[in-house]
Amino acid sequence: MRILYDHQIFSSSRFGGISRYFCELFREFSDSGSAQWQASAFFTNNEYLQALSSRPHFLPDWKFRGKNRILEAVNKLATLRALAARDYDLFHSTYSKPYSRFLLGKRPYVITVHDMTHEKYPDKLPSARREAAEEKRSITSADAIIVPSEATRSDLIGFYPEAAPKIRVIYHGYRLPTGIDGGIFRDLGDYCIYTGTRLCHKDFPTAIQAFARLPEHFRLLCIGGGAFTAEENRMFATLGIAGRVRWKSCGEEELFSAYAGAKCLLFPSRAEGFGLPIIEAQSVGCVPILANTPCFREIGADGALYFPVGNAAQCAALVRELTAPSSETLRTELAEKMRRNLQRFQWKECARKHLKVYRALLDGSFDAESN
Q: Which domains does the chain have, with CATH numbers?
A: 2-173+346-368 (3.40.50.2000), 186-342 (3.40.50.2000)
pLDDT of 369 reads: 54
Q: What is the DSSP letter of 247?
A: E
- The sheet with strand 245-248 has its strands ordered as 245-248, 219-223, 191-195, 264-267, 288-291, 305-307
Residues 188, 359: Cα–Cα separation, whole Å: 50
Q: Which residues of the chain have pLDDT under 50?
A: 368
Residues in Cβ contact with 209 at an 8 Å cutoff, skipping those fewer than 6 apart: 239, 312
Q: Tell me which residue of 140, 157, 145 sits closest to 110, measured CA to CA.
A: 145
pTM here is 0.95
CB neighbours of residue 59 within 10 Å: 13
Asked if residue 210 lies in contact with residue 192, where contact means CB atoms within 8 angstroms, the answer is no
